[in-house]
Amino acid sequence: MSDFEDIQIFVRVAELGNLSAAGRELRHSAAVVSNRIARLEERLGVRLLNRTTRRVNLTTEGDVYYRHCLRILAEMQEAENAIANQKNTTRGPVTLTCPIAFGNKYVAPIIPKFVEKNPDVQVRLHLSDRLLDLLQDKVDLAIRIAELKESSLIVRKLAANKRMLVASPAYLKRHGAPSAPGDLLHHNCLLLRFPGSRQYQWTLLGSQAEGPVTLSVSGSMDSDNGEVLTRWCLDGHGIALKSHWEVGDHIRNGQLQVVLPDYTPPAHAVYALYPENRYLPTRVRAFVDFLVSEFGGTPPWDKS
């Protein structure tokens, strides 16, 4: 039993003037209550209560200690009330992280809509193509477009997302279009590189008979920023592995072409990740629900 619980017992004994009555209220035996008071007195080095067979009374030191304990308990209750109000109110900061290009194109534009509906929430958007640790980096929520590993985080799917290999018509005219996965080993592949990234290995799904093919591709340029790779690809510098949300518009307008259309990379859906929802603040839960409503059904990149 903690010192704080000993203080609670002492206060109720002082108020009721009886060990047994305090014990009944706190669901302890009179012996347990007596032992807890004795432990407090031993730790403080003073007698807090004068005991008789029927009643206990505060000593001078006990009266001083009692008044201080009342303030402590009142402040603890105030602190708990403040947390309860914060938890059950859509109020306060929401910190989220997501990939740079996806954040710029699809998340940043809808944040004002959420804030307009929840004016007491402050949204703090951190854009990075690196995978941040939510607990270590003090982030409430992450949007990930990846094959997720096992973790203690809660995962909610926001939208489906196809991936594909793409190149510009100019690049394919100069270097020829690959006709089989192995041809990629002789092409300039534009790679997304950062600590933990495995995009230098491209896995392609062919027919059921062929099964997946994994290639260790290479190229003369790489970056830790997905938008840079898209720009290089548009400018004709190589082949890139891209999500449909990144390049769908460029494919529709002819700036990019799908390479090896019969061999597609495994799809990586768009997910929201956040810590265990038992203690999830209302503001974070509200923002996750908002993302689900915005990206659910047909995602915006498939509506054009």
pLDDT of residue 279: 65
Structure confidence at residue 111 as a pLDDT band (50, 70, 90): very high
Q: How many CB atoms lie under 10 A from the CB of residue 126?
A: 13
Cα-only R_g, the chain: 31
Q: What is the predicted pLDDT for the residue at 197?
A: 57
Please report the pLDDT score of residue 1 as a whole number: 42
Residue 33: what pLDDT? 87
* 96 neighbors 291 (Cβ within 8 angstroms): no
Query: For the ranges 120-129, 130-139, 189-198, which has the lowest average pLDDT?
Result: 189-198
CATH number, domain 163-266: 3.40.190.290
| Averaged pLDDT of the chain | 86
Confidence at residue 220, expressed as pLDDT on a 0 to 100 scale: 93
92-160+269-297 matches 163-266 in fold: yes
Mean pLDDT of 96-109: 93
Q: Which residues contact 54 (CB under 8 A, 6 or more apart)?
A: 18
Average pLDDT over residues 167-176: 96
CB-based contacts of 105: which residues, under 8 Å, 6+ apart?
245
Give the pLDDT mean for 135-159: 83
Helices (H), the chain: 3-16, 19-26, 30-44, 60-87, 100-102, 111-117, 169-175, 226-234, 244-252, 282-295
| pTM exceeds 0.85 | no
The pLDDT > 70 percentage for the chain reads: 91
Asked if the model's pLDDT at residue 255 lies above 90, the reply is yes
- pLDDT tier at 243 (50, 70, 90 boundaries)? very high
* Long-range CB contacts (within 8 A, 24+) of 253-259: 254/169, 255/168, 256/166, 256/167, 256/168, 257/166, 257/167, 257/168, 257/169, 257/172, 257/177, 258/164, 258/165, 258/166, 259/164, 259/165, 259/166, 259/167, 259/172, 259/177, 259/178
Mean of pLDDT values over 115-141? 86
- Across 70-90, average pLDDT: 72
Q: Going by C-beta distance under 8 Å and a sequence separation of 6 or more, which residues neighbour residue 87?
A: 279, 281, 282
Per residue in 175-227, pLDDT (tens digit) is 999 999 999 999 999 998 765 555 678 999 976 667 788 999 999 999 988 89
Ranges of each domain in the chain: 3-84, 92-160+269-297, 163-266
Question: What CATH fold (topology level) applies to the domain 3-84?
Answer: Arc Repressor Mutant, subunit A (1.10.10)
More confident residue, 16 or 253: 253
Q: What is Dmax (Cα atoms) for the chain?
A: 102
Q: How far apart are CA 288 and CA 141, in angstroms?
A: 8
Mean pLDDT computed over 14-19: 84
CA pair distance 118, 284, nearest whole angstrom: 11
98 pLDDT band, cuts 50/70/90, is: very high
Average pLDDT score over residue span 216-239: 93
**Residue range 93-113: mean pLDDT, rounded:** 93
Average pLDDT in the 226-242 region?
A: 95
Domain 92-160+269-297 fold: D-Maltodextrin-Binding Protein; domain 2 (3.40.190)
Phi, psi angle pair for 222, to nearest 5°: -145, 165
Q: What is the pLDDT of residue 224?
A: 84
